[in-house]
Amino acid sequence: MALSIQQKAKHRVLIALLAALLLPLFAGCGIAPLSGQTQNVKAQLDALLIHAAHFGVPQSSITSIKDQENTIITQAEWLAISETQTITSLQSMINSVYTSEYTSFEQNNSATQLSFAALNNAISLAQSQGIASTYFTVWQNADSQSYAQAVTSQELITTNNQILQQTAIVHTMQNAFNQLTNFSAISAKLSRAGIQNQLAQQEYAQDQTAYALAKTQNDFFFLSSQINAQIIGLVNDEIQAIPYVGGAQLDVLQKNITLLQNYQQNSAPFQQQWRQDNAALGHIVSLAQFVQFESAVQNQIAAMQLPLTIGKTQKDIDNFTALLHTADTMGLQDYEYHGEFGVQQLQSDFAGSQTLQDFQNTDSETALLTENLREMIANAQTHTPYNQPHTADFTLMHYYDIMSGKVIIISLAEQTMRLYDNGNLVFTTYITTGEQSLPTPPGSWRIIAKAVNVLFTSPFPAGSKYWYAPTLVRYTLNFHPGGYFIHDAWWRTQFGPGSNLPHYDPNADNNGSHGCVNVPLQQMGLVYEWAELNTPIIIY
């Protein structure tokens, strides 16, 4: 029941009296003021949360930590929990923010690397089809520079979005190029058949100009739509052109069918569609019928993209496996490419892929590992001294587009590290990488953290053959999630060829590392001072 005006007034009086009675009580116990040390730690956490937001940590993670902080501070003020407990909780949250930044950076770093590989693959495919563009080199150089300069997750996200946009442009550029090629082929067929169309020739010349000037995804998409409309218009003007126009589109479908067969994918349904389309083409006598025919063929071509990508990915993994067999027969000790970072990972990713993007990502991973393994094989055949510039190093730096600035190259077969600055070799040293059961991950990485005097503790339980006592390490460069570092190993006396394999070392385990890259102490001090955050690292 609603309260009357008089009742509401009485309620206000009661509330005021209650507040007056309770005020002395609260004034007596009060809100416990935060100590100076607690306030300082809280201020550090607040400043770090602001930094994390600008850094690119997801807002949900920041909000969760902020809510925890508010709960702790409220408890400290009202429940008078101990200062030590409050500070410990706040410091734990500070560590959580650092972890969030680290995780966010690594996730976006990996995504950017895959996107860059996908762009390079798209450009390579386009170039193999005869598509040339000055944008390709400009994009790759600009992306490489943006990637190298990115020091926050937000900057990596911006770079990744830029690369994804460029990849989309390449795909729409390919479509426009194919449409333009198709238009040219149709015009040529019509001319050979004695059918001349001056308007079509004029439109084709204009399309060529528009293609040369196109810059954005919308530009190429609009051009493709325009050319398609012109082709339909050509059919409308010349009904006798239908067999030639339709035949050119069926040629595209047949090329994809042949490609599917080469990939050993099931092409029977598409081949059946092609036969039906070919038969239907002979009975088209109107523009309306042709438009329906053309739409059906385009849908069939689009439906082939997923099986084509699956087939290409599987073929590329098979080629990588065959290349791995070649490396095995050469005795290269290429175990790093067999397990969780190599073919095993690719097969697992392939089995788990479902969407077109999933398979494209797996294919991009395959391309990166294939290039690294190919250069391992090529490098083994040159017999260049370890402390001299290696052709394979330059090939990989070109491949990853990191010829400028500082680059760390690690050769697994040679157990050697080479440092380059703007393409000039400036330092070399022998190293020791992961043993066979705990390999060092091959690929392209970056230094994500630097620290001195770090106490390494074993992630393996006591009693495990991999367990080790807490060990103080002087210089560390973190390059991969999961605890992969370049660091000094003062306990080793042997580095270089064979030190990652079972051997005798009087002061250390008679084997390789646990996955890290071990460097002699004195040399590691020089490497640590020379290397910078985000310095690229290629391990092959």
496 DSSP 8-state letter: S
Asked whether the CA dihedral 297, 299, 301, 303 is positive or negative, the reply is negative
- What CA–CA distance (Å, rounded) separates 375 from 489? 28
pTM: 0.66
The structural architecture, per CATH, of the domain 387-539 is Beta Barrel (2.40)
- CA-wise closest residue to 433 among 318, 536, 525, 336: 336
Cβ atoms of 513 and 499 within 8 Å: the answer is no
Residue 134's identity, in one-letter code, is: T
pLDDT at residue 194 in the model: 65
Place of tokens 């590691």: 524
**Pair of tokens at residue 361:** 């990502």
- What CA–CA distance (Å, rounded) separates 137 from 134? 6
Helix axes 198-213, 153-192, angle to 10 degrees: 160
Beta bridge partners of 472: 455
Contacts 24+ apart (CB under 8 A), 228-236: 228/179, 228/294, 230/183, 230/200, 230/203, 231/179, 231/182, 231/183, 231/186, 232/287, 232/290, 232/291, 232/294, 234/186, 234/190, 234/197, 234/200, 235/287, 235/290, 236/287
- What CA–CA distance (Å, rounded) separates 323 from 336? 14
Instruction: State phi, psi for 518 to the nearest 5 degrees.
Output: -85, 135
460 DSSP 8-state letter: S
- What CA–CA distance (Å, rounded) separates 192 from 373? 50
- What CA–CA distance (Å, rounded) separates 57 from 5? 52
Place of tokens 């990989």: 396
- What CA–CA distance (Å, rounded) separates 95 from 45? 9
Specify the 3-state DSSP secondary structure of 406.
strand
- What CA–CA distance (Å, rounded) separates 164 from 110? 14
For residue 125, give every residue at least 6 positions away whose Cβ sits within 8 Å of its Cβ, in sequence order, or none.
174
pLDDT tens digit at each of 540 positions of the chain: 444 444 444 444 343 333 333 333 333 344 667 788 888 889 989 998 999 898 899 999 999 999 999 998 888 877 767 888 888 898 888 988 988 888 888 888 888 988 988 898 889 888 888 898 888 989 988 888 888 888 888 999 999 999 999 999 999 999 999 889 988 888 887 777 667 778 888 999 999 999 999 999 999 999 999 998 988 888 777 788 888 889 988 999 999 999 999 999 999 999 999 999 999 999 998 878 888 998 999 999 999 999 999 999 999 999 999 999 999 999 988 999 999 999 999 999 999 999 999 999 999 999 999 999 999 999 999 989 999 999 999 999 999 989 999 999 999 999 999 999 999 999 999 999 999 999 999 999 999 889 999 999 999 999 998 999 999 999 999 999 888 999 999 999 999 999 999 988 877 778 999 999 999 999 999 999 999 998 999 999
Cβ atoms of 154 and 109 within 8 Å: the answer is no
Beta 443-446 vs 424-430: how paired, if at all? unpaired
**Pair of tokens at residue 137:** 């080199």
Cβ atoms of 517 and 485 within 8 Å: the answer is yes
Alpha-helical (H) ranges within 56-152 are 59-78, 83-128, 134-149
The DSSP result for 257-292, as a single string, is HHHHHHTT---HHHHHHHHHHHHHHTT--SHHHHHH
Cβ atoms of 346 and 317 within 8 Å: the answer is yes
Place of tokens 């082929």: 185
For residue 366, give every residue at least 6 positions away whose Cβ sits within 8 Å of its Cβ, in sequence order, or none.
313, 316, 317, 320, 346
- What CA–CA distance (Å, rounded) separates 216 from 494? 56
Number of helical H runs and strand E runs in the chain: 16, 9
Beta 471-480 vs 484-488: how paired, if at all? antiparallel
Specify the 3-state DSSP secondary structure of 534.
coil
CA gyration radius for the chain? Answer: 32
Beta 406-411 vs 536-539: how paired, if at all? parallel
Contacts 24+ apart (CB under 8 A), 68-74: 68/93, 69/42, 69/45, 69/93, 73/34, 73/42
114 DSSP 8-state letter: H
Specify the 3-state DSSP secondary structure of 488.
strand
Strand 424-430: give its sheet, edge to edge. Answer: 424-430, 416-421, 406-411, 536-539, 443-446
